[in-house]
Amino acid sequence: MDWAEWLCTIHEAGGTVFSEDGTRSTIAEQPGVDALTRWVTEYQNGWVPLEYAVGNVEASEGLPDYWLSLEQVTARREDAACWRDTNSNPELQYVIGHPRRMNKDHDLISGLVSGQGWAITKASKNQEAALIWVKWMIRPENIGWYCSLAGTTPVGNKAKEAWQADPCVLEHVARFSPYLFSDRDTVTLWQESKVICAPHFQAAVLGQATVEEALAACEAELNQTLREKMG
């Protein structure tokens, strides 16, 4: 169910889930085959616990955190994790790694560009008061202070002037930020895609479908959903 992790994996293999214009799925092309084959291999070799091969949202809740329990060697973590995880478990020996790719023909990938924010919807009450509050919260000095407390990274240069980051966060940002990506995959059918593909990924991991069969099923359902959404 970790769609962000899947997007990183298929991008590391030189592929995408959707075409450049966002009108069709490309998940079943060779990079997708290489990416899902890697996942299947990781499960078959016991490098990833089998209980993580879940096919729905409910099954993904309450799974143990093998990283923090020192039973998992590596994990893709966000910028704040280096101090948050070590505070949660002082026994954790945290070493910041590097961006990855499946081979030298592909671009290095570290993760998705993501962020947090506030929104005012049509259904919101007291919209004028909420707007005043939001405008105050997005001042650079407040963003810098918020990111300092959360361990996250502000986007604007002015906000960074008020940013007091942990040294490990700064190292993480310096090493990974040039290799973040944001494209049509990060904005197209985010919720729908993981719900569609998770059962097929699970079937491949459990040997109930080949990698090619699983991806073909994903692609057919994604294309159908695109047609329904886009006309």
Output the pLDDT for position 71.
Answer: 86
**158-167 contact pairs (CB < 8 A, 24+):** 166/82, 166/83
- Nearest-angstrom CA–CA distance, 106 and 7: 14
Task: Indicate the SS3 state at residue 164.
Answer: coil
Distance CA 100, CA 173 (A): 15
Instruction: Give the structural domain span for 134.
Output: 127-168
Contacts of 154 (CB under 8 A, 6+ apart): 140, 143, 144, 147, 160, 163
Domain assignment present for residue 12? The answer is yes
Q: Are residues 15 and 71 in the same domain?
A: yes
Residue 46 located in a structural domain: yes
- Write down the H helix ranges in 69-121: 81-88
Q: Which helix (H) or strand (E) holds 112?
A: strand 111-112
Write out pLDDT tens, residues 23-53: 999 999 999 999 999 999 999 998 888 888 8
User: Which two three-digit tokens encode residue 83?
Assistant: 């101090």
CATH number for the domain including 42? 3.40.190.10
Residue 121 resides in a domain:
no
Residue 122 within any structural domain of the chain: no
Residue-level pLDDT at 179: 94
Tell me the pLDDT band of 55, cut-offs 50, 70 and 90.
confident
Pair (56, 97) in one structural domain: yes
Q: Are 36 and 43 in contact (CB under 8 A)?
A: no
**pLDDT confidence of residue 144:** 92
Note whether 111 and 149 are same-domain residues: no
Note whether 164 and 179 are same-domain residues: no
Q: Name the domain count of the chain.
A: 2
Considering the domain architecture, whether residues 97 and 39 belong to the same structural domain is answered as yes
Q: What is the pLDDT of residue 84?
A: 87
Whether 137 and 149 share a structural domain: yes
pLDDT the model gives residue 108: 95
Q: What integer pLDDT is reported at residue 65 of this predicted model?
A: 85
* 96 & 7 share domain: yes
**Would 24 be classed as within a structural domain?**
yes
Task: State whether 136 and 148 are in the same domain.
Answer: yes
The per-residue pLDDT for range 162-189, each reduced to its tens digit, is: 999 889 988 998 999 999 999 999 999 9
pLDDT digits (tens, 9 = 90+) for 65-117: 888 888 888 888 888 888 889 988 888 899 999 999 999 999 999 999 877 77
Q: Which residues pair with 181 in a beta bridge?
A: 112
pLDDT in tens, 129-156: 999 999 999 999 999 998 888 878 888 8
Q: Which two tokens stand for residue 136?
A: 């105050």
The pTM assigned to this predicted structure is 0.85
